[in-house]
Structure 1
Amino acid sequence: MSPPSPSSPATPSSPPSGSVPTIDLTPWFHGDDTDRRRVAQQVDAALSAVGFLLVTGHGVPADLRADVRAAAKRFFALPYQTKERYAATVGERGWLPPGVEANGYAEGTPTPPDLKETFAVGADQPLGVPSLDDVWFLSNVYPAEVPELEPLLVGYLERMRTLADELLVICAAALGLADDFFTSRAGHPSYTMNINWYPPLSHVGEPEPGQFRIGPHTDFGTVTILDRQPGVGGLQVYVDGEWVNAPYAEDSFTINIGDLLARWTGDRWCSNRHRVLPPDAGAPDEELVSLIFFYECDPDASVESLPVGTATYPPVRASDYLLEKLRAITV
């Protein structure tokens, strides 16, 4: 069945070339209809121009994010043999040790494995369909050595799911669609949260040629919500043919969209390339921890291009597309 035609959204007024704007969500949550339309237009412009934005006024407590990060650092500081009890690979739950992931392969760029460790959790309530449950709704695994991590992550996932759904409502408003156009296709969605530890140069040694903390790639799903720390070996975004350092603002989230949402909008919105630089010799003791929530949609949802962009993609089943991408980055 073809998707409904949206009402005609305005052509976005793009932010300055090469910029990643900061958008305050306070008017969306607490303003009138005019305020909400203005926020939707700002989001439309940012996603059309660069595919990235920073959001403030999101309502997620800074203390919660700080507590999750601190507990995660206690886990990553455990001996290798202890962390190995929770070892997993891409798409699974638990500890992804060094060497199991190379994100550059998702776009066909061969790179050495990414210089990071990851602790991954995600959607864990089964649908009752084994072929989907065994891939997208695995049971989460929590380390007994850091017992506080489980309740913190359960609370954080709840906050991220709520914020991601609200972002999809804003996206629908930006395109002149019914508020629930995207969220109605995310009633039982797949999602993953990666806590990425980027060890210091003094820990990992000199990077191989072409090796990154995360190699160049686009995200795969609908929206990504990133709580990051600034650093010399930090996030870069590909803008106007150049890699630029992503801006940072206190108490903000960095938001970008993934391939599925770009396809849904017929490339009106950009699923943009990004990467995390390797540790820098000028900051040999720099270590960073990022909290990354990758939101998708119902695994069985059909993603079909809306008549709002310049491209028309054939319909794709979300689960099929996402699985292909996850297999590509698995070392």
Structure 2
Amino acid sequence: MPPFAVPKIDISAWVGPGSPDARAAVVAAVDHACRTVGFMQIVGHGIPDAVITDFTEALDDFFALPLDAKKQYVRPSGENRGYSPPKSESLSYSLGVDPVTRMNDFFEAFNVGTSAAEYPGSTATAADYAENTWPTETTTFEPAVTAYYDEARRVAHTLTRIFAAALRVREDFFDDVTDHSIDVLRMNNYALPPGSIELGAELTGMGEHTDFGLVTVLWADQVKGLQVLGQDGSWNDVAPADGALLVNLGDVAARLTNDKWMSTLHRVKPPIIDGTIERRRSAAFFHDGNADAVIAPLPGFVTAESPALYDPVTVSEHIAAKLGGSRAGRKNVSAVREAARLAGTRG
């Protein structure tokens, strides 16, 4: 088995004008990454440096607020909006796997996403597309986060066009399952005040999990912490290359392709360097699909030799089961295949 590596792919031929040969090369590289790793380093994405600079400064402004100020933006767990304090989640529970201790993930986060009002005339409701909460202590947060959100969404849409070409389905195939997609931007912070964590205690930065939807576009600091599961059961450190976004597939992509494309397990270890916690930030844009879209293996991926591995499920039902595990502590008993992969890991 070749050494673990996350391929670096330049998608500029799909962001702007590109020759048929250049676009075909991108499609082939993306398809290979989806089948062998489930992660890729994306460059040529077209997000301006200034947008990312303003965005990261806005994250700093918010996460620097006192904990009590941030806690006023906590929302009910099922809404997937607002602030999540440290140790209020346990991502491994989304796989139906018991964590070492309940609700012990080390990170804090803030979530924004699409609201039902953005999809007039569709079936979108507030139950799946909640309104956003915006902090009032900083005037830079909402405009900077919105600008980055729009860019990350554009990148996700570009990727679905590449996916359609790789899967050899019609060009607008993903429009049917993403034209009122549940999109969420989760901004994570792995730095807590001194003394709030006992070094040496059992810490989980973010527990082992797969992402829930179609594709994730991740911006992150180049600070060690993210680990991705290799096909040999090993955990491997991954950090974004200079100027790159990390992109990975979620469960919806795996279900559509009957596991020919990989929704890869990953986790975040606490960034502890020389006995102290190093600050680490990340922002994951989740392009999950329409709440009412029924996801099942595509006919081209189901044969007598490769029967369907998944029963049909709506995106909303799938996400609710996963969130019920990570946020509410209800073990997700439907994640049988993901839990089996986790059981086979080394270390």
Normalised by the length of structure 2, the TM-score is 0.85
Distance 2:173 2:122 in 1: 27
Mapping 1:99-138, distance limit 5 Å: 99-111=87-99, 112=101, 113-126=104-117, 127=119, 133-138=125-130
SS in 2 for 1:263: helix
- CA offsets, 1:251-293, max 9 Å, x none? 1100001001110011110000000002315251411110111
Mark the runs of 5 or more structure 1 residues left unpaired by the alignment: 1-14
Q: Larger deviation: 40-49 or 300-309?
A: 300-309
Counterpart residue type for residue 66 of structure 2: P
Q: Percent identity?
A: 33
Counterpart residue type for residue 279 of structure 1: P
Distance 1:84 1:200 in 2: 14
Seen in structure 2, the aligned counterparts of structure 1 residues 301 and 98 have a Cα distance that, compared at 3 Å, is same
Structure 2 residue 90 is matched with structure 1 residue 98: no
Counterpart residue type for residue 301 of structure 2: V
Mapping 1:307-326, distance limit 5 Å: 307-308=300-301, 310=306, 312=308, 313-326=310-323
Structure 2 residue 229 is matched with structure 1 residue 238: yes
Q: Is the 8 A contact 1:196 1:291 kept in 2?
A: yes
Counterpart residue type for residue 322 of structure 1: I
Q: Larger deviation: 268-277 or 27-36?
A: 27-36
Among 264, 277, 292, which residue is 1:300 paired with?
292
Question: Who is 1:184 aligned against?
Answer: 176
Mapping 1:178-327, distance limit 5 Å: 178-199=170-191, 202-206=194-198, 210-232=202-224, 234-239=225-230, 240-282=232-274, 284-306=276-298, 307-308=300-301, 310=306, 312=308, 313-327=310-324
Among 22, 28, 31, which residue is 1:41 paired with?
28
Q: Is the 8 A contact 2:58 2:145 kept in 1?
A: no
Q: Is the 8 A contact 1:51 1:256 kept in 2?
A: yes
Per-residue deviation, 1:16: 4.4
Q: Larger deviation: 275-284 or 201-210?
A: 201-210
- CA offsets, 1:125-175, max 9 Å, x none? 335799952332111111111111111122222112211111111011001
Among 18, 34, 47, which residue is 2:4 paired with?
18
SS in 2 for 1:48: helix
Q: Is the 8 A contact 2:115 2:126 kept in 1?
A: no
Question: Who is 1:50 aligned against?
Answer: 37
Q: Is the 8 A contact 1:267 1:311 kept in 2?
A: no
Counterpart residue type for residue 24 of structure 1: D
Q: Is the 8 A contact 1:220 1:325 kept in 2?
A: yes
Q: Is the 8 A contact 1:201 1:281 kept in 2?
A: no
Question: Who is 1:11 aligned against?
Answer: none
Seen in structure 2, the aligned counterparts of structure 1 residues 168 and 208 have a Cα distance that, compared at 3 Å, is farther
SS in 1 for 2:154: helix
- CA offsets, 1:10-64, max 9 Å, x none? xxxxx94411100011233332112111111100100100100010000011221
Aligned residues: 316
Counterpart residue type for residue 243 of structure 1: W
Seen in structure 2, the aligned counterparts of structure 1 residues 119 and 62 have a Cα distance that, compared at 3 Å, is same
Alpha-carbon RMSD: 2.2
